């Protein structure tokens, strides 16, 4: 490679060197007798000046740390709003279904079991975002344990579909509360968190059923509609959330702007 070829090929790098750099001095010494090399070096220097003038201003000291703290604080606020919304929906669900029930158990054991399930549902709603798989598992086990430990004195009788609908509606209330609590925020719940919130809500519905259901002594009924309701609510609302969340993506992919 001749000296001319080397200078022209390395002009951008040579222009970026300091003024007292030996390679830059040697290149300009050669360019003093070669018009093409001189033009290449001058163009490279103009490019370096343009890059330097367009460089962003240096951030003030501590700006990055302050921005990071602000982001973390906002995420924590959204997490609190989500947890409080879930807890409020769990409590509202239990009060609603028990308050408007036509028949209520007179057994103290049923009310005690309902209170225990209600407390468990509140705790699960509070930690649904952090431990979604644990929440779903505990909700199912709690519903199963409550069903097996229920009293054997039935009430007037309650159809299974009614129990299933109660748990699914209660789960929908909690998921809806989660959505309302963080609507317009910076985060979006994952499918696992939605499944956990739904499971906690369904367990709240099961707590209400402890004092309103008339078939607590029937194991098939409990497995199919009480325990099954928790599983169905968690799976169904998780799939529904995925379908709803996928709509904006599908719309963006089909936009004429992408063609």
- Averaged pLDDT in 10-residue chunks for the chain of 259 residues: 73 79 82 84 83 69 77 82 92 92 84 92 92 92 83 51 91 91 75 92 93 76 86 91 68 45
Do 44 and 74 lie in one domain? The reply is no
pLDDT value at residue 247: 64
Domain match, 38 and 83 both = no
**pLDDT the model gives residue 64:** 74
Is-contact 217 152, C-beta < 8 A?
yes
Cα distance between residue 96 and residue 126, in whole Å: 20
Domain that holds residue 185: 65-249
Strand, helix or coil at 161?
helix
Task: Identify whether residues 49 and 86 lie together within a single domain.
Answer: no
* Per-residue pLDDT, 138: 94
Q: The pTM is what? A: 0.67
- Which runs of consecutive H residues, i.e. helices, occur in the chain? 3-9, 11-15, 22-31, 35-53, 63-99, 108-127, 132-149, 160-182, 191-209, 219-221, 228-253
Nearest in space to 146 (alpha carbons), one of 238, 213, 88 = 213
Quote the CA–CA distance of 100 and 90 in Å, as a whole number.
16
Structure tokens at 166: 């109660």
Say whether 59 sits in a helix, a strand or coil.
Answer: coil
- 116 lies in the same domain as 193: yes
What is the number of alpha carbons within 13 Å of residue 147 lying toward its C-beta?
A: 23
The answer on 44 and 78 residing in a single domain is no
pLDDT of residue 216: 66
What's the confidence (pLDDT) of residue 55?
58
Residue 60 is assigned to a structural domain of this protein: no
């Amino acid at each position: 490679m001749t000296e001319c070829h080397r200078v022209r090929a390395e002009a951008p790098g040579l222009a970026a060197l300091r003024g007292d750099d030996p390679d830059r001095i040697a290149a300009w010494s050669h360019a003093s007798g070669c018009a093409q090399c001189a033009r290449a070096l001058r163009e490279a220097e103009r490019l370096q000046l343009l890059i330097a003038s367009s460089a962003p201003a240096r951030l003030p000291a501590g700006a990055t740390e302050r921005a990071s703290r602000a982001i973390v604080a906002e995420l924590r606020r959204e997490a609190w709003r989500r947890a409080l919304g879930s807890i409020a929906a769990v409590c509202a669900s239990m009060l609603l279904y028990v308050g408007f029930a036509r028949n209520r158990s007179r057994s103290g054991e049923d009310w005690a079991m309902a209170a225990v399930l209600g407390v468990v549902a509140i705790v699960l709603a509070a930690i649904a975002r952090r431990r979604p798989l644990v929440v779903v598992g505990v909700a199912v086990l709690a519903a199963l344990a409550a069903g097996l430990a229920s009293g054997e004195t039935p009430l007037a009788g309650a159809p299974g579909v009614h129990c299933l609908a109660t748990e699914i509606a209660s789960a929908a209330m909690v998921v809806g509360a989660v959505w309302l609590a963080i609507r317009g925020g910076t985060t979006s719940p994952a499918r696992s968190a939605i499944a956990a919130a739904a499971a906690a809500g369904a367990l709240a519905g099961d707590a209400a059923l402890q004092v309103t259901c008339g078939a607590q002594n029937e194991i098939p009924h409990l497995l199919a509609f009480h325990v099954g309701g928790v599983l169905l609510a968690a799976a169904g609302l998780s799939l529904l959330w995925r379908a709803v969340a996928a709509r904006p993506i599908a719309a963006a992919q089909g936009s004429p702007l992408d063609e």
